[in-house]
Amino acid sequence: MKKVKVIKIDVDKCNGCRSCEVICSAFHAAPKYSSTNPERSRIRVLFDPLKDTYVPVIAGEYTEAECNGRDIYTINGKEYDECAFCRASCPSRQLFKDPDSDLPLKCDMCEEEPPLPEPLCVQWCLSDALTYEEREEEGEEEDKPGEMEIGLEALVKKYGLKTVKDTLDRVSKS
Ligand code: SF4
Ligand code: SF4
C-alpha cells in the first residue's frame, strides 16, 4: 500500500488573502523562513477581476514543451483563458518558475523530517479553502524526485549534460 496525500481546494471559500503564497515561499526560502516572495511559492492564487474569482493553483509537473492541446473552462457561465488553471511549469509562461534561476517549482507537500501534521498552506488557510487528506491506495511507494533532482534535470534539458557537468566541476573547485 502507498500513502497518497491530497490537498482539496474549495474555490468558493477562497477570499484571496494569499497567506498560502506567503508561507509556502517562506518555507522554501534559503535559509528557511528568511524571506517571502510569492513568485517562489508553489501555490499561486489566480485572480480575474472581471469574473471576481480567486482560484488557488498548486504547482504540478515541469513540462519541457508547450502543449498543443489547450483547455478552456466555463464556470458559472464565465469563460476563462486558455491555460488559466494549468498546474504545469511550462516554457510559455513565467508561472511556477524561480524568479532568479528560472528553474521549475513543484509542490513537495512541505516534506521534511519530522513530517508536518499538515502542509503549511493548509495550516495557514483560515477560510478552509484548502483541506488536507491522506489515504491508502494499492501499489508501491514511488521514489519521488527531490527539488535538487527536478532542478538538475531542467538544467540538463536546457544546457546539455556536458555543460552542466563542466559547470559543476568548475564550481566545486572554486
Ligand atoms: S490562504 Fe486560503 S483563502 Fe487565503 S488565498 Fe490561500 S487558499 Fe485562498
Ligand atoms: S503543500 Fe507546501 S509546498 Fe505545496 S503548495 Fe502547499 S505550502 Fe507549498
The tens digit of pLDDT for each residue in 75-121 reads 778 888 888 889 999 988 889 999 988 899 999 999 988 989 999 99
Q: Kindly state whether residues 152 and 136 are assigned to the same domain.
A: no
Q: C-alpha distances in angstroms, 160 versus 29, 91, 114, 163? A: 27, 17, 36, 6
CA of 122 to the centre of ligand 2 (A): 8
Is the pLDDT assigned to residue 144 strictly greater than 70? no
Q: Kindly state whether residues 138 and 170 are assigned to the same domain.
A: no
Among candidates 110, 126, 106, which has minimal Cα distance to 118? Answer: 110
pLDDT of residue 169: 85
For residue 53, the cross-strand partners are 48
Residue of 54, 55, 85 best suited for mutating to test ligand 1, as the one with most atoms within 8 Å of CB: 54
Of the ranges 14-28, 49-63, 89-103, 145-159, which is most confident?
Answer: 14-28
Q: Kindly state whether residues 42 and 127 are assigned to the same domain.
A: yes
Q: C-alpha distances in angstroms, 129 versus 23, 101, 136? A: 15, 31, 23
Q: 79 or 48, which is more confident?
A: 79
Average pLDDT over every residue of 23-51:
91
| Amino acid letter, 137 | E
What cell numbers appear for 141 in the block? 511507494
Question: Model confidence at 50, in pLDDT bands (50, 70, 90)?
Answer: low
Q: Kindly state whether residues 134 and 159 are assigned to the same domain.
A: no
Range of the structural domain that residue 135 is part of = 2-142
Is the pLDDT assigned to residue 162 strictly greater than 80? yes
What cell numbers appear for 2 in the block? 502507498
Q: Kindly state whether residues 116 and 167 are assigned to the same domain.
A: no
Q: Kindly state whether residues 107 and 123 are assigned to the same domain.
A: yes
What residues line ligand 2, using a CB cutoff of 6 Å? 24, 27, 42-43, 58, 107-110, 119-121
Is the pLDDT assigned to residue 41 strictly greater than 80? yes
Is the pLDDT assigned to residue 49 strictly greater than 70? no
